[in-house]
Each structure stands twice: as structure tokens, then as C-alpha cells.
């Protein structure tokens, strides 16, 4: 027996830290954010795929993408819609800025309460700009829901119980969890499907109100089309819209403070640079043997 599910996918726009090129650091040694493209957090895409599969298996289900960030993070909702999500919400407000994982979780949990009657909250295990893996479990705690982290596949949902295969250290585990629940998805799960051309056409000009730049072509098209196509205006929520407590949001809601940030200064050693010539390689091996580094 299948019943429709209301699924919320947590997704984050992140700088692509995996492809840090030479221009990613400024000559002063700080991070050059502009040089890093903003992308859909990879494991959140794995989560989206699991959500879309559930939607296919349980007719009538809906998938919504919830993201928090500056207005340009509306792109995450579009990317979700292009792949088959039904709706999305952008949490954006200066009061959300500077949030650590706890304040982020508070904001997301508050929005999920506002969305209401959610069966499954699903997101990536962690985001590549922080690698903390904390937001999923913290959202679960704030909502008082059970959590399954490191999920690789949702095997089935029957009688309101999800059976999930998850990665554990050195092995795998299969668990049963009653709904509603929070699931975080590991990168070893199935990759996300590509964008669907028809959906791209449909949602190309979908924008959050704050994203609309009256001078850009997209902005003009959005203004023209959204009158007759309300789905082109994406949901955009502030702290007040989700009845959030400003003291628990952003910097003021964050127990952790950054004391210092240091650029990684490579503890540059006295490197010996060698060529690939036989003489150099043999010389190195002899040196390592003499110093008993290798035996």
C-alpha cells in the first residue's frame, strides 16, 4: 500500500571547493571566493535523487527543495525544479547571516514546521564547504524526529516505516525507521538524474522576488511571464515569514565563534627537486636506504 509522501529536500549552494585551482587563493593567501563557482552541494543532489525516486514509487507525493542563502541561491530551487521537484523555498534574510550549524538548523527546522505535515526531510550527509555533517541531525533534534544518517538507499516505505541501507564505518547496516524522519544521504548513493529539457523550459525564468533584476533579460522575462504563470515566482521567506526568533538565528544564535582564521601556510620545507632521470631516481632511493627511511 502506498500513500503519498510530502518530502522536503535540504539543499545548499556551496563554492566548489573540490576544484580549487591556482587562482583560488589570492597572492595574499586568502580565499578568492569569486574564483570558485557556486554549485549544488554534491551530496544534496544524491538526496534529491532519493526523493524523486520516492515520488515515482508513491504516486501523489510531492518534493520541495528548501535552501537558505543569499538571493542567488534561488538557483538551487531552479536546479531542483529542472530535475523534477514540485516546489521550493528560499530562506533569505540578513538575520540568517553568520549562522553556524546550530543556528542554520534552527532556521531550517522553523521553515519545515511552517511547511507542515512533512513525512520525510532528506538532505546530503554534509556540505563541501564545511564538511561538518551536523545540520541533518540537528534539524532532526529540533523537530523531535528520528534520524538516519549516511543513507545509501531507501529500500522501501511501507506502513509508514522506511527501510534504509546506510553506510557505517567498515560496513553497511539496514535499519527501519518510522516516519516522519530525517535522512541524510551519503555520496555513495545513486547519482542524481540530469535536468529534464521540458522542465528547464518550464522553469527557466522562475525566480525568487529578491533575485529579480529589472535590468537583466531574465528579470524582464520573469516580470512579464509570472503574471500568467504564478509558478515562476518562487517562495522566499524571511525570519519573520517563518515566525523565527531572531536571537536563535544567524550570528547571535550560534554558540560557536570563529576565533581566528589562518590561511594554510604550507610549512614549506627545504624541498629537493629532482628530475625523472634514472640518475636522480636512483640517487633518491640510495639516500632513503642510507637514512633507513626504507629498508
Return the SS3 of 79. Answer: helix
Q: Is 238 exposed, middle or buried (0-12, 13-18, 19+ CB in 10 A)?
A: middle
Residue 235 in contact with another protein, rule: CB under 8 A: no
Distance (Å, whole) CA 83 – CA 45: 10
Residue 228 in contact with another protein, rule: CB under 8 A: no
Distance (Å, whole) CA 225 – CA 218: 10
Residue 159 in contact with another protein, rule: CB under 8 A: no
> To the nearest whole angstrom, how small is the minimum distance from the Cβ of residue 121 to another protein?
14
Residue 201 in contact with another protein, rule: CB under 8 A: no
Q: How many residues bind another protein (CB under 8 A)?
A: 78
Distance (Å, whole) CA 212 – CA 141: 35
Applying CB under 8 A, among 4, 60, 131, 243 the residue interacting with another protein is 131
Distance (Å, whole) CA 69 – CA 250: 11
Residue 195 in contact with another protein, rule: CB under 8 A: no
Residue 150 in contact with another protein, rule: CB under 8 A: yes
Applying CB under 8 A, among 11, 13, 15, 81 the residue interacting with another protein is 15
Specify whether the CB–CB gap between 42 and 187 falls below 8 A.
yes
Q: Which is nearer to another protein, 80 or 244 (CB)?
A: 244
By rule CB under 8 A, what string of x and - marks binding of each residue 83-102 to another protein? -----------------xxx
Distance (Å, whole) CA 295 – CA 293: 7
Q: Which is nearer to another protein, 4 or 246 (CB)?
A: 246
Residue 263 in contact with another protein, rule: CB under 8 A: yes
Q: Which is nearer to another protein, 133 or 225 (CB)?
A: 133
Task: Let me know the angle formed at the C-alpha of 184 by 182 and 187, rounded to the nearest 5 degrees.
Answer: 165
Q: Around Cβ 115, how many Cβ atoms within 10 Å? A: 17
> To the nearest whole angstrom, how small is the minimum distance from the Cβ of residue 273 to another protein?
5
Using CB under 8 A as the binding rule, the residues of this chain from 105 to 124 that contact another protein are: 105
Amino acid at each position: 500500500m502506498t500513500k503519498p509522501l510530502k518530502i522536503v529536500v535540504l539543499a545548499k549552494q556551496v563554492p566548489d571547493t573540490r576544484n580549487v585551482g591556482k587562482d583560488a587563493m589570492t597572492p595574499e593567501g586568502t580565499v578568492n571566493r569569486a574564483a570558485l563557482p557556486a554549485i549544488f552541494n554534491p551530496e544534496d543532489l544524491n538526496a534529491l535523487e532519493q526523493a524523486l525516486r520516492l515520488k515515482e514509487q508513491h504516486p501523489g507525493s510531492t518534493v520541495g527543495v528548501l535552501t537558505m542563502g543569499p538571493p542567488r541561491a534561488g538557483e538551487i530551487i531552479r536546479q531542483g525544479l529542472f530535475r523534477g521537484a514540485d516546489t521550493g523555498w528560499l530562506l533569505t534574510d540578513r538575520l540568517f547571516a553568520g549562522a553556524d550549524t546550530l543556528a542554520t538548523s534552527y532556521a531550517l527546522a522553523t521553515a519545515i514546521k511552517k511547511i507542515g505535515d512533512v513525512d520525510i526531510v532528506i538532505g546530503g550527509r554534509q556540505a563541501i564547504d564545511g564538511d561538518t555533517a551536523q545540520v541533518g541531525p540537528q534539524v532532526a533534534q529540533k523537530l523531535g524526529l528520528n534520524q538516519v544518517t549516511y543513507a545509501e538507499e531507501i529500500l522501501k516505505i511501507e506502513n509508514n516505516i522506511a527501510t534504509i541501507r546506510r553506510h557505517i564505518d567498515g560496513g553497511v547496516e539496514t535499519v527501519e525507521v518510522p516516519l516522519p524522519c530525517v535522512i541524510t544521504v551519503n555520496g555513495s548513493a545513486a547519482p542524481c538524474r540530469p535536468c529534464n529539457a521540458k522542465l528547464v523550459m518550464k522553469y527557466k525564468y522562475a525566480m525568487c522576488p529578491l533575485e529579480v533584476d529589472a535590468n537583466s533579460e531574465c528579470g524582464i522575462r520573469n516580470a512579464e511571464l509570472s503574471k500568467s504563470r504564478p509558478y515562476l515566482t518562487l517562495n522566499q521567506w524571511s525570519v519573520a515569514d517563518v515566525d523565527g526568533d531572531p536571537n536563535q538565528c544567524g550570528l547571535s544564535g550560534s554558540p560557536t565563534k570563529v576565533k581566528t582564521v589562518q590561511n594554510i601556510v604550507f610549512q614549506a620545507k627545504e624541498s629537493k627537486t629532482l628530475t625523472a632521470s634514472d640518475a636522480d631516481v636512483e640517487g633518491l632511493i640510495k639516500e632513503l636506504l642510507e637514512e633507513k627511511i626504507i629498508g
